[in-house]
Chain A
């Protein structure tokens, strides 16, 4: 019976168990090396005051400025909306760049469209060229992707700040580079892991590699690729918000100002604005999943 099968430990479970043990061991080591103690996680007297103010702000977010402001200043809610708009705009611009680079690099970083099953026996010039050139290109592209992914967008932003000064386009590129790399990596994995029957049958009726990719592999990977891109857009909005901490006109800039002035209720206004955007994306994506995928 199924319950018995469940209770007799299958072999994969022991691997998982070992992995889990390893993970917990690593955590213990980390704990020790950082010299942490639970007592330090409890806020001191000052901290408690701050925490209280902060939690209060969660329940009563500000709808107007907490302190006196010079007349003619845009109302708080309008400022929030404008900052939100800029945040989303930066993210959208960055995602459009990342999508293009992600598709291109993902295509070059996948193997399933050129490493076909008939192997690389050097029976023709075309195949020999393909078999020597492609692996080199493939490895280069994968290295490029890894590099792109490994530097956080904030670090790129800060580098560009030093090189170009405060400029909105450099902020967009700062987000686009690691996001493009991540999209490329995930796209290439999806392309390589999707079922290959359609690709194989198209090749069998004479299609060339780009056609096999376009019509045999890409359509099958496309649903997963789209949903991942959508998810990444949501992440990009968060990244764009944080860039504000360094002077860019996104949510983070105003959030930081309010926090430094200890206007925690205003801070929560900004946080709730972000929450609203994320919630919107959640609802949108669950609607997409329900209407499009399940037929």
Chain B
């Protein structure tokens, strides 16, 4: 099993829609830890997540993965790093007209050359297909192996996205609002699944969630973000009730940003 990845954010600062209001983020995420970013919309959850694999570059400050400053990486090294980080974006990022098997196999694109990937996805060797099937079975969607992704339900697509991330044999899993499109029963199932899988595969799990209740129930460490700043960062058991109130209070904490910021 690949080693889990550790992350560091040092005074990382991102432009929020052009606002200079830049709150430096300071975070340490150790190997194999499970963390959830919580907070209201516009708090910076998705952005913080994107900093971890350099999908977003910080305007200042440093982002490190396994101790390496991401900004110093060459294109090839960045790709190699990203291949080790599984990503489940909010819109799932699947290809609707391809089959489930092909979508999952695409997880390893980062490790293959272009020509090899053509062969690997169009004519996958049996061993790889069996691995894919095993992963899908674990997630309960094995029977849909050859179905087109756009013929699946939302929950099933979610699971295919998770399977793709797992197929990557990554050292970390970043999931952006993985529960937003699911109903309450499914949501519980999914967050439970994510946490269990992360433990099984020894992954560093970083989530962004807006559902505080589920986060408190399942994720051992919570980081509260508001307006791009860390409000609290601790093990779930020890966080005081008021802190959650602080997070979601409508007026209060000063910031120079307007209320109409989009995204996380």
Contact = CB atoms under 8 A, between A and B. Distances in A.
Partners in one complex: yes
Contact of B95 (A204, A215, A295): A215
B80 A206 contact: yes
Contact of B118 (A123, A126, A204, A214): A214
Contacts of A203: 82
B81 interface: yes
A215 B121 contact: yes
A202 B114 CA distance: 13
Given A207-B109, A219-B97, A214 B89 contact: no
Interface stretch (B39-47, B71-79, B227-235, B236-244): B71-79
A40 interface: no
A232 interface: no
Interface residues of B, number: 42
Contact of B87 (A201, A208, A223): A201
Contacts, number: 91
A126 B106 contact: no
B38 interface: no
A223 B75 contact: no
Interface in A176-219: 197-198, 200-208, 210-211, 214-216, 219
A219 B95 contact: yes
B75 A124 contact: yes
A222 interface: yes
Contact of B150 (A207, A210, A214, A295): A295
A295 B151 contact: yes
Chain A interface category by residue count: 20 to 34
B86 A205 contact: yes
Contact of A216 (B53, B95, B107): B95
Interface string A202-244: 1111111011001110011011000000000000000000000
B194 interface: no
Most buried by A among B78, B92, B95: B95
Given A197-B89, A198-B94, A201-B93, A211 B114 contact: yes
Interface of A: 118, 121, 123-127, 197-198, 200-208, 210-211, 214-216, 219-220, 222-223, 295
Interface of B: 53-55, 57, 71, 74-76, 78-87, 89, 91-98, 102, 106-107, 109-111, 114, 117-118, 121, 148, 150-151, 165, 168
